[in-house]
Amino acid sequence: MTTTKGVRRPLGLAPTAVLLLGALYCLLPVCWVLAASTKTRGELFTTNAFAPGTGLFSNIADLSAYRDGIFWQWMANTALYAGVGALLSTAVSVLAGYALAKFRFFGRDAIFTVLIGGILVPAVVLAVPQYLLLAKAGLANTYWAVLLPSILHPYSIYLARIYAAAAIPDALLEAGRIDGAGEHRLLRVVAVPLMLPGMVTIFLFQFVAIWNNFLLPFIMLADDERFPLTVGLYTLLATGANQPALYNLVITGALLSIIPLIALFLTMQRYWRTDLSGGSVKS
């Protein structure tokens, strides 16, 4: 470190300012949702955008009463899609990533190349073909219609492979094999614990992706009892040309729908920190 304090300060300010701007950019909409969700219908468009209103509890009550509480059914559905979907997806990704990273077998590189190709194809493009396929299989408009396409996620497999390659030393696996451990035991006792931070990352990624997914459930599901929050709230917004949109309920619903995500991130945070620091101490 040869630079002096006096030189570093002006240089150090610019990145901070950029980061602050970025934070502002990300947080302003959240603040707006927070403020807007407290407003009644009349206040929503007439009062200052960031001034709190008086209707938070009446909004929540209205939302809960809307069509006999279907909002909470949507919340439960979303939790099911995101929770089960992310768990299954994490399991598949970890198995696939571990195998691709630590075993040499015929066609391994070909499989990996295809997976990388898969990352380049946006999920949006696949939604309609997936719908037509699942409709043929008689699975459209079932919970499976949303769960099955969420399970295989090329990017997660890619992440798992990278993570497994970095976090599991070959020497450790060799030692285990010499000591007579079978492959299943190696996976259970050596690989999975070492990959845990990576698994949390994949789980969170997939959880958020499924929680926020709109197009897939929108196309797959016909029965509103099976809708997730995104599609359900959309039905409140797009009420046809002749009905005023239920803006205040949608905004309150949006606020309630991000609370579980925030809670999840806060509780999973410590695993993630391990993940980040895990990389830094590797030699």
Residues forming contacts to another protein in the complex (CB under 8 A) are 41-42, 45-46, 49, 67, 128, 131-132, 135-136, 140-141, 218-219, 222-224, 231, 234-235, 237-244
Burial track 108-147 (b if 16+ CB lie within 10 A, e otherwise): eeeebeebeebeeeebeeebeebbeebeeeebbbbbebbb
> In the complex, what is the shortest distance from the CB of residue 239 to another protein, in angstroms, rounded to a whole number?
6
> In the complex, what is the shortest distance from the CB of residue 122 to another protein, in angstroms, rounded to a whole number?
18
103 vs 172: CA distance, rounded Å: 14
Q: Which is nearer to another protein, 144 or 218 (CB)?
A: 218
Q: Which is nearer to another protein, 107 or 244 (CB)?
A: 244
Q: Which is nearer to another protein, 111 or 142 (CB)?
A: 142
Q: Which is nearer to another protein, 247 or 272 (CB)?
A: 247
Name the residue among 56, 222, 241, 69 with its Cα closest to residue 131: 222
> In the complex, what is the shortest distance from the CB of residue 132 to another protein, in angstroms, rounded to a whole number?
5
CA distances from 263 to 26, 36, 197, 212, 282 (A): 18, 21, 18, 15, 30
> In the complex, what is the shortest distance from the CB of residue 221 to another protein, in angstroms, rounded to a whole number?
9
Q: Which is nearer to another protein, 41 or 102 (CB)?
A: 41
Q: Which is nearer to another protein, 120 or 241 (CB)?
A: 241
Residue 77 · residue 228 · CB < 8 Å: yes
How many CB atoms are closer than 10 A to CB 75?
Answer: 19
Q: Which is nearer to another protein, 66 or 271 (CB)?
A: 66
> In the complex, what is the shortest distance from the CB of residue 223 to another protein, in angstroms, rounded to a whole number?
5
Tokens 């803006």 identify what position?
A: 247
The one-letter amino acid code at 177 reads R
> In the complex, what is the shortest distance from the CB of residue 65 to another protein, in angstroms, rounded to a whole number?
13
> In the complex, what is the shortest distance from the CB of residue 249 to another protein, in angstroms, rounded to a whole number?
12
